[in-house]
Amino acid sequence: MTDTTVSSCNMMSREETARWLQTYDRYLLLCHAHPDGDTLGSAMGLRNLLRAMGKTAHVICASPVPYRLSFITEERQSILLEQIPGGFLWDKIISVDVASPTLLGAYQTPFGEPEHVDLAIDHHGTNTQFAKNLCLDGALAACAELVFDLGQEIFGWNDTDRILPADSAVPLYAGLNTDSGSFKYGAVTPATHHRAAAMLASMKAAGIEHAKIAERLYGSRPLSQVMAAKAAYENLRFFCDNRISLVSFTPETMKKYKLADEDIDDIVNLIRGIQGVRVAVHIKPRGENVYKLSLRCEQGFNVSQIAGQFGGGGHPCAAGCTIEDTVEGVEAAIVAAISAAFDAEACGEGMEA
């Protein structure tokens, strides 16, 4: 299904969005399917900020929450619409860290219908402007940074005498930490670290150790994730003079190694960190002859343009798309697209960041 954009989408500043959030009383917050730390952390952080304002807010996601991220969702690995208690009726719907309605998974219907989302808060430059209103900053390393700024507009906190509530600081820090690649991606700025410092100060004031958050996010990997890494290395292939690393997980691979979706979430970063590799591609099954692709690249290249050729998008150095074909057809298509981009680059055409 192709994205449907809203030509009348109203672009809003941080100040305008903060005022908008103070206007209504009951909010439903949408995460993207197959959630990462940023969509969950940003949504839960915003939920708690809204509740601190006296609002009612609930977060939903069409996909299970991975165990390592479930501390963000109060140890719940399922946050479905039907689990909201009391027949909740919302005034407004907000999507958080969702660049396209197709990313809502099973909640694309009805929430992904044109103009059904009242406000999108996002940091993806490829956002399709599907919501009625859009608060967007594509220069940020994480959507959590934007939610932090909105809270700052409303509450006026800083990192010294006035600090944000710990129940928002923890999920926002988790979102910022994960989507910035532990603060190593190119989108990280001094302002990113200032925001992180405010979050850390809030956690420290509440007696929360940020090292324990890092341990949950990155340490104590379950055996299934170790087996996923083993499978990745066994199936790793290289193309274009070793400038492309590629791993495909088929349904048969998943069954052979007894893997779940959350076990293979970070494979693309595993195969990106190989000397000489400029673009890493991880292909994973999403149905019969339907594959989701995760792309990562070095600074100066732009995989969001590659993903855009297949109806996807993302950031210059981290993007994704979905292709319907056999796994062999998917591999051939993505390698050809990246190879063509390399050729264009060699001819001096380059790729816009």
Whichever domain contains 244, its CATH number is 3.10.310.30
CA distance 136 to 149: 12
Are 163 and 198 contacting, i.e. CB atoms less than 8 angstroms apart? yes
For residue 94, tell me if it sits in a domain. Answer: yes
> What does the pLDDT look like over 108-164, one tens digit per residue?
988 988 889 999 999 998 899 999 999 999 999 999 999 999 999 999 987 677 789
Hey, which bits of the chain come out as E strands? Answer: 10-11, 26-30, 56-60, 92-96, 119-122, 133-136, 237-239, 244-248, 279-287, 290-297, 313-315, 318-324
For residue 249, tell me if it sits in a domain. Answer: yes
Q: In 10 A of CB 195, how many CB atoms?
A: 26
CA distance 146 to 60: 20
Question: Do residue 240 and residue 102 come from a single domain?
Answer: no
Question: Do residue 328 and residue 185 come from a single domain?
Answer: no
Q: Is the pLDDT of residue 211 over 60?
A: yes
Confidence of residue 347 (pLDDT cuts 50, 70, 90): confident
Q: Residue 349: its pLDDT value, please?
A: 66
Are 245 and 238 contacting, i.e. CB atoms less than 8 angstroms apart? yes
More confident position, 348 or 6: 348
For residue 205, tell me if it sits in a domain. Answer: yes
For residue 256, tell me if it sits in a domain. Answer: yes
**Lowest-pLDDT choice from 33-42, 88-97, 313-322:** 313-322
Using DSSP's 3-state secondary structure scheme, residue 161 falls into coil
Question: Do residue 64 and residue 211 come from a single domain?
Answer: yes
* Mean model confidence pLDDT for the chain: 92
Confidence of residue 4 (pLDDT cuts 50, 70, 90): very low
> What does the pLDDT look like over 37-52, one tens digit per residue?
999 999 999 999 999 9
* Burial tier of 23 (Cβ tally within 10 Å: 0-12, 13-18, 19+): exposed
Q: Which of 164, 185, 217 is the last residue of a domain?
A: 217
Question: Do residue 331 and residue 197 come from a single domain?
Answer: no
Q: In 10 A of CB 181, how many CB atoms?
A: 18
Question: Do residue 151 and residue 229 come from a single domain?
Answer: no
- Say which DSSP state 164 is in: -
Q: Which of 186, 217, 248 is the last residue of a domain?
A: 217
Full residue range of the structural domain in which residue 327 is found: 223-346
Please tell me the pTM assigned to this model.
Answer: 0.86
For residue 139, tell me if it sits in a domain. Answer: yes
Question: Do residue 170 and residue 106 come from a single domain?
Answer: yes
Task: Return left, alpha or beta for 315; rule: phi > 0 is left, psi -120 to 50 is alpha, else beta.
Answer: beta
More confident position, 214 or 314: 214
> What does the pLDDT look like over 226-257, one tens digit per residue?
999 999 999 999 999 999 999 999 999 999 99
Q: Is the pLDDT of residue 2 over 70?
A: no
CA distance 280 to 297: 6
**Lowest-pLDDT choice from 156-165, 303-312, 319-328:** 156-165
**Lowest-pLDDT choice from 40-49, 123-132, 187-196, 341-350:** 341-350
Q: Residue 163: its pLDDT value, please?
A: 85
Q: Is the pLDDT of residue 73 over 80?
A: yes
Q: Is the pLDDT of residue 7 over 90?
A: no
Indicate if the alpha-carbon torsion angle 263, 264, 265, 271 is positive or negative: positive
Residues in contact with 11: Cβ distance below 8 Å, sequence separation at least 6, in sequence order: 133, 134, 135, 136
Per DSSP bridges, beta strands 279-287 and 290-297 are: antiparallel
For residue 159, tell me if it sits in a domain. Answer: yes
For residue 71, tell me if it sits in a domain. Answer: yes
Look at the chain and report how many structural domains it folds into.
2
For residue 267, report the phi and psi dihedrals to the nearest 5 degrees.
Answer: -60, -40
Point out which residues pair with 194 in neighbouring strands. Answer: none
Question: Do residue 71 and residue 175 come from a single domain?
Answer: yes
Question: Do residue 125 and residue 266 come from a single domain?
Answer: no
Q: Name residue, tokens 């305008």.
A: 16
For residue 55, tell me if it sits in a domain. Answer: yes
Question: Do residue 183 and residue 230 come from a single domain?
Answer: no
Question: Do residue 172 and residue 102 come from a single domain?
Answer: yes
Share of the chain above pLDDT 90, in %: 76
What CATH number should be reported for the domain holding residue 96? Answer: 3.90.1640.10
Q: Which of 217, 246, 272 is the last residue of a domain?
A: 217
CA 22 → CA 15, 18, 49, 269, distances in Å? Answer: 11, 7, 11, 39
Question: Do residue 213 and residue 280 come from a single domain?
Answer: no
**Lowest-pLDDT choice from 3-7, 146-150, 184-188, 339-343:** 3-7
Question: Do residue 76 and residue 156 come from a single domain?
Answer: yes
Note the residue count of the chain. Answer: 353
Q: Residue 162: its pLDDT value, please?
A: 78
